């Protein structure tokens, strides 16, 4: 049985329409026009134990709404959802004891408390047995390199340090399911890598199921085998990262470097849907569809014309793929 089972999940918010200007604001005091906003319009998916799933979509597409419902802090308007046999918003307290949640935009720690005291308080809140707590805490401190930060109040931490502490804090009680909402937002490259390594290790070694929302496609490429794309409150694509690429455009780029400028200037890649994207003194970049023209054939053609110093194949950046997908579904930020 899947660990998360979501069927027909829908959420409609009623919001008061704001009229423009001061006069409008006054009118709004007495007469409100309400408008329905469909944040989720019937979402279905399953997530198996031990999966690491990326959940992407433009702002306002329904990512946070989904996470909040799965975490048990928001009731849906319609639909069902079972997480480890519980309905999150009905069994909220039992449910949240088993999951970990990290919001990149907002800390779960106590602003004024040193990190280690936040951890101790969480031990009491989650009723973590002393031994399990000690093991988990020490392991997380070592993995996230938190030792030098333990006595620092949370408000004095840098964003990267805070995120590492937040991640550790969310795992002290040993949850089997982790929701990460934009965990790398605003982080520098080193911190991003540390977070990614940690999440990967957690998923592989400890079989923790992870649902990850992000705008950083490098997160997705580095971590996820499966990705769900949501737009306008519906799941548009649910499958492998490769599948997502193929779905939009099945294209690779062959990059060829030459020693002498002359060779790069004269090379001709031929037909079969091949496009020459770029050509400068010593490098050419050629786009091709491996289903129409196998990479080996293309390389063979080039080798017949000269001797490249180096050649390699690039995936198109997934940002581009996703942007095309959004465009295809006419999704805009709302």
Query: What is the closest distance, in whole angstroms, from the C-beta atom of residue 176 to other proteins in the complex?
Result: 15
Specify the length of the chain in residues.
334
Helix (H, G, I), strand (E, B), or coil: what is residue 163? helix
Q: Which stretch binds other proteins (CB under 8 A): 73-81, 136-144, 240-248, 270-278?
A: 73-81
Q: With respect to other proteins, which residue has the nearer C-beta, 75 or 305?
A: 75
Residue list 8-27, contact with other proteins (CB under 8 A): 13-14
Q: Please tell me whether residue 75 binds other proteins under the rule CB under 8 A.
A: yes
Determine the size of the site formed for other proteins (CB under 8 A).
27
Q: Please tell me whether residue 171 binds other proteins under the rule CB under 8 A.
A: no
Q: Please tell me whether residue 31 binds other proteins under the rule CB under 8 A.
A: no
Binding mask 103-132 for other proteins (x = CB under 8 A): ---x-x-x-xx---x---x--xxxx-----
Q: How far is residue 174's CA from residue 135's CA, in Å, rounded to a whole number?
A: 10
Helix (H, G, I), strand (E, B), or coil: what is residue 81? strand
Q: Please tell me whether residue 96 binds other proteins under the rule CB under 8 A.
A: yes
Pairing of strands 209-213, 177-181: parallel
Q: What is each CA distance from 330 to 64, 119, 235, 243, in whole angstroms?
A: 20, 45, 14, 20
Q: Please tell me whether residue 90 binds other proteins under the rule CB under 8 A.
A: no
Number of other CB atoms surrounding residue 302 within 10 Å: 21
Query: What is the closest distance, in whole angstroms, from the C-beta atom of residue 13 to other proteins in the complex?
Result: 7
Q: Please tell me whether residue 62 binds other proteins under the rule CB under 8 A.
A: no
Q: With respect to other proteins, which residue has the nearer C-beta, 171 or 318?
A: 171
Query: What is the closest distance, in whole angstroms, from the C-beta atom of residue 123 to other proteins in the complex?
Result: 8
**From the list 54, 58, 62, 72, which residue makes contact with other proteins (rule: CB under 8 A)?**
72
| Segment (H or E) for 295 | helix 295-305
**From the list 54, 65, 227, 244, which residue makes contact with other proteins (rule: CB under 8 A)?**
65
Lookup: tokens for 202: 């957690």
Q: How far is residue 47's CA from residue 120's CA, in Å, rounded to a whole number?
A: 32
Q: With respect to other proteins, which residue has the nearer C-beta, 18 or 249?
A: 18
The half-sphere exposure of 135 on its side-chain side, counting CA atoms within 13 A, is 7
Lookup: tokens for 5: 């089972």
Q: Please tell me whether residue 74 binds other proteins under the rule CB under 8 A.
A: yes
Query: What is the closest distance, in whole angstroms, from the C-beta atom of residue 233 to other proteins in the complex?
Result: 14
Phi, psi of 235 (to 5 degrees): -75, 120
**From the list 97, 152, 185, 255, which residue makes contact with other proteins (rule: CB under 8 A)?**
97
Rounded to the nearest 5 degrees, what angle is found at the Cα of 189, between the Cα atoms of 225 and 242? 20
Q: Residue 37 pairs with which residues in a beta bridge?
A: 13
Q: How far is residue 129's CA from residue 133's CA, in Å, rounded to a whole number?
A: 6
Q: Please tell me whether residue 57 binds other proteins under the rule CB under 8 A.
A: no
DSSP structural state of residue 136: H
> Residues interacting with other proteins, by CB under 8 A?
13-14, 65, 68, 71-75, 89, 92-94, 96-97, 101, 106, 108, 110, 112-113, 117, 121, 124-127
């Amino acid at each position: 049985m899947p660990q998360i089972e979501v069927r027909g999940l829908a959420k409609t918010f009623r919001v008061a329409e704001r009229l423009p200007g001061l006069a409008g604001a006054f009118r709004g005091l007495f007469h409100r026009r309400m408008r329905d906003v469909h944040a989720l319009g019937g979402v279905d998916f399953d997530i198996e134990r031990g999966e690491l799933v990326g959940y992407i979509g433009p702002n306002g597409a329904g990512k946070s709404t989904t996470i909040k419902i799965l975490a048990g802090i928001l009731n849906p308007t319609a639909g069902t959802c079972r997480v480890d046999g519980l309905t999150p918003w009905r069994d909220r307290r039992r449910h949240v004891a088993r999951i970990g949640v990290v919001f990149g935009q907002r800390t779960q720690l106590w602003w004024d408390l040193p990190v280690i005291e936040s951890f101790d308080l969480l031990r009491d809140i989650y009723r973590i047995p002393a031994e399990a707590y000690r093991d988990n805490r020490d392991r997380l401190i070592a993995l996230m390199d938190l030792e030098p930060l333990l006595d620092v109040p949370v408000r004095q931490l840098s964003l990267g340090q805070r995120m590492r502490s937040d991640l550790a804090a969310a795992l002290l009680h040993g949850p089997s399911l982790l929701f990460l909402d934009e965990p790398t937002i605003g982080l520098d490259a080193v911190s991003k890598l540390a977070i990614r390594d940690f999440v990967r290790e957690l998923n592989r070694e400890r079989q923790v199921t992870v649902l990850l929302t992000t705008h950083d496609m490098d997160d997705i490429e580095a971590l996820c085998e499966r990705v769900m794309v949501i737009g306008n409150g519906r799941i548009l694509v649910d499958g492998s990262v490769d599948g997502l690429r193929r779905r939009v455009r099945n294209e690779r780029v062959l990059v060829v470097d030459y020693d002498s400028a002359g060779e790069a200037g004269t090379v001709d890649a031929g037909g079969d849907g091949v496009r020459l994207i770029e050509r400068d003194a010593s490098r050419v970049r050629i786009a091709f569809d491996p289903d129409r023209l196998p990479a080996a054939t293309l390389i063979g053609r080039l080798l017949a014309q000269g001797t490249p110093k180096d050649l390699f194949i690039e995936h198109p950046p997934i940002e581009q793929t996703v942007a095309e997908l959004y465009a295809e579904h006419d999704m805009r930020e709302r």
